[in-house]
Amino acid sequence: MARSGSSAAVVRLAQLRWIDAGGLLTAMALYGAVAEASSFERAVAVQSAGAEVYLTALIMLGITLTHAVIVPLDVRATFWLSSACCAIGVAAAYLVSLVSVPPELLAAKPWLPANQAIFVSVWALLAVTVSSIAARIIHGLQQRVRDANEIGQYVLEERIGEGGMGVVYLARHALLRRPTAVKLLPPQRAGEQAVRRFEQEVRLTSALTHPNTISIFDFGRTPEGVFYYAMEYLDGLTLEDLVAHAGPQPPARVVHILKQVCGSLSEAHESGLIHRDIKPANLMLCVRGRVPDQIKVLDFGLVKEFTAPADVGLSVDGALLGTPAYLAPESILDPRRSDGRADLYALGAVGYYLLVGEPVFESRTLVEACVQHLHNAPVPPSQRMAGPIPAALEQLVLCCLAKAPEARPASALEPLRLLDEAVDAAQWKRGDAERWWRERAPEVARAVKLGRQQGSTPGPRTIAVALDRRAEG
């Protein structure tokens, strides 16, 4: 289907070019005929004949040049079309001169029409040359724009997001025609340490296969050293967008969401990985395989192998990695000693945010946020929300938000089990999800899209790929 659609587009483009060329040539011929007729009525002297020729030549050649600049054609097509138009202009100039010159003068000097035609031919040659040069420059720039929009086998179409570790573009695979998300590490962030961490993100994330973890398709570097990787494109809403535009979520839906996040984290933790940046903006709610309310865990940009020795090249002593509103206390005190339980703290903060519609702690500065995570006890969600909340769900959220890591669940499997067994009253059925996506999702999506457009960059970009610099796994 994609191939037939592409062929149809090519056919339509060819038809439009033939229509454009035919229309231009017809307009030139009609103008020449009108000029000839009007010149016959106004011609009274040789000076009038010369003025008619000059006016005809200038207007027709101006049309040729304007068309070459406005209508995007390659050099060969522009050359032949401009030559045809100028030939009509030369013929019109000859006929205008022939009609405008008084008969007695034409009998004395029969070479005058040919002289005028040769004069116009010089200008026509200049017009064809300038048109061809303009087409070469414009067509070359268009080709460079198209080239700049490609990265490997992917064509970048628009920017759809930006995180701490790179910019994400909506892209299209050149052969498969499937939508893809391509993440680039911008040159201004492309220090050696940043590039190595970006490569580590791809290598570690691509090893995960849980259905609630985003899938990685490809990765590499451009000749300019810009690192990129391609992943599945998700047409959905982040939990941050969901709460911002739809408010606090029903407890049953919160349970449904947290269970999926726990599943993804469970595989990552068992593989020796911690995410370190679990937050609503990194959790995408979407419809996959016609199943609504599917969660995808995104952006493993701060991921760390906690079973492997620390790599001093990838972390900096004293660096605070993560998002302040979702940082575990131990991640503030000593990020190097964080383990999977730091992700569970962030999971509890996400659940709290979904239930209440606001973060666990309100803070205006990084220092204030850190102090609150270290010393302040969270207000129970039931005291900040209007509707009822299952006691088991609230207990689990507060347990995940415990200050001491050992007071939290030991692994992501434990809250997953508790959500399965202890929160029986909160059941988010498929019918509920389908109804929400049918009735509410379009409105929320429009609001989110409007907000993204205000910060998006127009148009696609083209980037070449240096396959010889592809990182080895």
Query: Is 211 in the same domain as 258?
Result: no
What is the mean predicted confidence (pLDDT) over 310-321? 43
CA angle 135, 137, 140 (to 5 degrees): 100
Is 196 part of a structural domain of the chain? yes
Question: What does R_g of the chain's alpha carbons equal in angstroms?
Answer: 34
Q: Which amino acid is at 274?
A: I
pLDDT-derived band at 154, boundaries 50, 70, 90: confident
- How far, in whole angstroms, is CA 125 from its chain's centroid? 44
Bridge partners (DSSP) of residue 170 are 158, 181
pLDDT of residue 424: 61
How many Cα atoms within 13 Å fall on the side-chain side of residue 166? Answer: 27
Is 213 part of a structural domain of the chain? yes
Looking at 69-78, 180-189, 337-346, which range is the least confident one?
69-78
Please count the structural domains in the chain: 3
pLDDT of residue 131: 75
Query: Is 432 in the same domain as 375?
Result: yes
Alpha-carbon span 122 to 363, nearest angstrom: 75
CA distances, 381 to each of 128, 238, 376 (Å): 75, 21, 15
Alpha-carbon span 333 to 380, nearest angstrom: 25
Of 450 and 246, the structure prediction assigns the larger pLDDT to: 246
How many Cα atoms within 13 Å fall on the side-chain side of residue 110? Answer: 1
Is 394 part of a structural domain of the chain? yes
Last residue of a domain, one of 99, 125, 148: 148
Query: Is 109 in the same domain as 169?
Result: no
What is the mean predicted confidence (pLDDT) over 198-220? 83
pLDDT-derived band at 402, boundaries 50, 70, 90: very high
What is the mean predicted confidence (pLDDT) over 440-456? 78
Residue percentage of the chain with pLDDT more than 90: 30
State residue 335 phi and psi, 5-degree precision: -55, -25
Residue 327 in this model has a pLDDT that exceeds 50: yes
pLDDT of residue 299: 79
- Give the burial string for 207-221 (b: 16+ CB within 10 Å, else e): ebebebbbebbbbbb
Tell me the two tokens of residue 237.
């809403």
Last residue of a domain, one of 125, 148, 171: 148
Residue 258 in this model has a pLDDT that exceeds 80: yes
Of 115 and 143, the structure prediction assigns the larger pLDDT to: 115
pLDDT-derived band at 458, boundaries 50, 70, 90: very low
Residue in 205, 201, 160, 206 with CA at minimum distance from that of residue 179: 160
Query: Is 246 in the same domain as 395?
Result: yes
Domain harbouring 351, CATH code? 1.10.510.10
State residue 173 phi and psi, 5-degree precision: -70, 130
Query: Is 159 in the same domain as 223?
Result: yes
What is the mean predicted confidence (pLDDT) over 261-278? 91
pLDDT-derived band at 336, boundaries 50, 70, 90: confident
Residue 164 in this model has a pLDDT that exceeds 70: no
Is 447 part of a structural domain of the chain? no
Residue percentage of the chain with pLDDT more than 70: 64
- Give the burial string for 283-307 (b: 16+ CB within 10 Å, else e): bbbbbbeeebbbbbbbbbbbbbbbe
What is the mean predicted confidence (pLDDT) over 120-125? 73
- Tell me if 169 sits within 8 A of 152, measured CB to CB: no
Query: Is 265 in the same domain as 377?
Result: yes
Q: What is the pLDDT of residues 23-70, one digit of tens each?
A: 666 666 655 555 544 544 444 444 444 555 566 666 766 777 776 667
pLDDT of residue 292: 94
Of 372 and 83, the structure prediction assigns the larger pLDDT to: 372
pTM of the complete model:
0.64
Query: Is 185 in the same domain as 333?
Result: no
Residue 11 in this model has a pLDDT that exceeds 50: no
Tell me the two tokens of residue 287.
């419809």
Query: Is 141 in the same domain as 179?
Result: no
Last residue of a domain, one of 107, 130, 148: 148
Query: Is 423 in the same domain as 283?
Result: yes
Is 453 part of a structural domain of the chain? no
Task: Decide the pairing of beta strands 166-173 and 179-184.
Answer: antiparallel
What is the mean predicted confidence (pLDDT) over 74-101? 72
Bridge partners (DSSP) of residue 238 are 284
Query: Is 220 in the same domain as 243?
Result: no
Is 452 part of a structural domain of the chain? no
CA angle 446, 212, 452 (to 5 degrees): 25
Residue pointed to by tokens 């946020």: 369
pLDDT-derived band at 296, boundaries 50, 70, 90: very high
Is 267 part of a structural domain of the chain? yes
Domain harbouring 221, CATH code? 3.30.200.20
Alpha-carbon span 355 to 343, nearest angstrom: 18
Residue 319 in this model has a pLDDT that exceeds 60: no
SS3 letters across the chain: CHHHHHHHHHHHHHHHHHHHHHHHHHHHHHHHHHHHHHHHHHCCCHHHHHHHHHHHHHHHHHHHHHHHHHCCCCHHHHHHHHHHHHHHHHHHHHHHHHHHCCHHHHHHCCCHHHHHHHHHHHHHHHHHHHHHHHHHHHHHHHHHHHHHCEECCEEEEEEEEEECCEEEEEEEECCCCCEEEEEECCHHHCCHHHHHHHHHHHHHHCCCCCCCECCEEEEEECCCCCEEEEEECCCCEEHHHHHHHHCCCCHHHHHHHHHHHHHHHHHHHHCCEECCCCCHHHEEEEEECCEEEEEEECCCCCCEECCCCCCCCCCCCCCCCCCHHHCCHHHHHCHHHCCHHHHHHHHHHHHHHHHHCCCCCCCCCHHHHHHHHHHCCCCCHHHCCCCCCCHHHHHHHHHHCCCCHHHCCCCCHHHHHHHHHCCCCCCCCHHHHHHHHHHCHHHHHHHHHHHHHHCCCCCCCCCCCEHHHCCCC
Query: Is 242 in the same domain as 127?
Result: no
Q: Which residues are catalytic?
A: 277
Cβ atoms < 10 Å from Cβ of 162 = 16
Q: Determine the structural domain holding residue 182 and report its residue range.
A: 152-233+459-469
Alpha-carbon span 158 to 150, nearest angstrom: 12
Bridge partners (DSSP) of residue 158 are 170
**Maximum alpha-carbon separation in the chain:** 114
Is 446 part of a structural domain of the chain? no
Query: Is 263 in the same domain as 387?
Result: yes
